[in-house]
Structure 1
């Protein structure tokens, strides 16, 4: 018995002497169940939605279902439309993304706005200014007696709001909710910038860490993000400075990494509200297994200044040319 206690004591001392595994962007923990759950949820959603596909050269390879369509969702295993299940249509699924966000951030769904211009139906040349009204008001004021008309008006309002509101962050919320991430693990928001900012702030319970995609190998379950707008954050260092600014708000977008093929130097991602659909894209990796610089606008030839029809002499639009500047690595 005495010898057993001595051996246990020596084991404890040796364990304490071993170097601890310090996780980092370059040295992450092995992928686990959550990585698979996030990637699987995003991949399944693209298949069910029947969304677009973007080739690795940035061209639109397949045009799929769009946000406000009444197209039936598809069986994710066969790809066939489920026409016998009438409620499973594209626009209603996009509203489900907002409802998933609502479960974690109360008020987000019903605060979506519908844009309108007074008198426009009567006069196509109306010169008034666009106005907006939120979904909460529209639905609460819909007091039509006929239930069929009331339902039609309510659904028309939701479809209009889906058209008028950017829903890519709501899609990410839907995926994270499906993977059962808590509010401590993920900052649910209608704007990508705030859950990106939380990763930079690095609270201990947060599921993601902010990494530089130029120096970090992506894995399924990670989020690959870019900045957009008139003054985009073009690189990781720009983000590190911006997230500490008072009143931080940056126009941005994130895709979910669903597959990484290091042997083929490519990865696949899925994002919501990309060309008004749930869209899968292929991106190239370089020899070091990092995101290829060919997808960076400043490292690629400038697009033609004039529109050009498809032909041998034309350059088609490259939808993969973005300021990909943050990789949210799942811990």
Structure 2
């Protein structure tokens, strides 16, 4: 059987909320499993599939990339794309990159366009394209203080820093607060970006035990004493990868334990703006020992790769600015 001209396996696509490119992959996998598509069958060109479905070519390209990753298809230059003879592989869920949902009832591209136009009316393009101070200009830091107000009240701009993404600021905080070989305490399941950062900078990670409310204070104490750690990393709201939002009582207990142990708290908080209400941030519960990170990329758009940091004092910001 040669399916190059037969597109019946694509119609109808599943009616669910998953992205269109994944619907194409699932249709391909189903057709393969029931024998409608056989090993060696040649698929139509991607442009033809895009025309048939009435979608953009990039959607089909993305679908084929995913199908190839699952060993459903293979492509040979100059010959085309074929159904593979081997067994398909289970998809791997990658939690290292999250994309926020599109805002309801708004045109984000239009808002970004008008925002850029307004910015160019207030500032010259030459000034915007030049180098900027490490922690950000006073106006940028004031905007950061305004954004962070929901987590810990309006902060003096001297305690606020601006960065090109939360990962850059997280790296700066850890480099300023730890040395190579130090152990950072975290959840037993933790953010993949932190794991990669620790590996790249020669830091170690140790997980403190948890229950249904998140990290347990007694397990934190045990881990801190065992590893002689000085820094605690927390992602308390919509935790990656469990999606848990830690309740207020547990946050207060952990804040008290961190105080007893003399731990610095690094609070990674990219998702709070996505919730109608969140428990108090560690920034408000333990402001004298918390570095609080917030980003626009995870709650508005990856295009806005801008993040804000609230530090316990101005000297901490100065040390961090030297590494940004």
TM range (shorter): under 0.3
Ranked by relative contact order (alpha carbons within 8 Å, sequence separation 6 or more), the top structure is 1
TM-score (norm 1): 0.22
Question: Larger helix proportion, structure 1 or 2?
Answer: 2
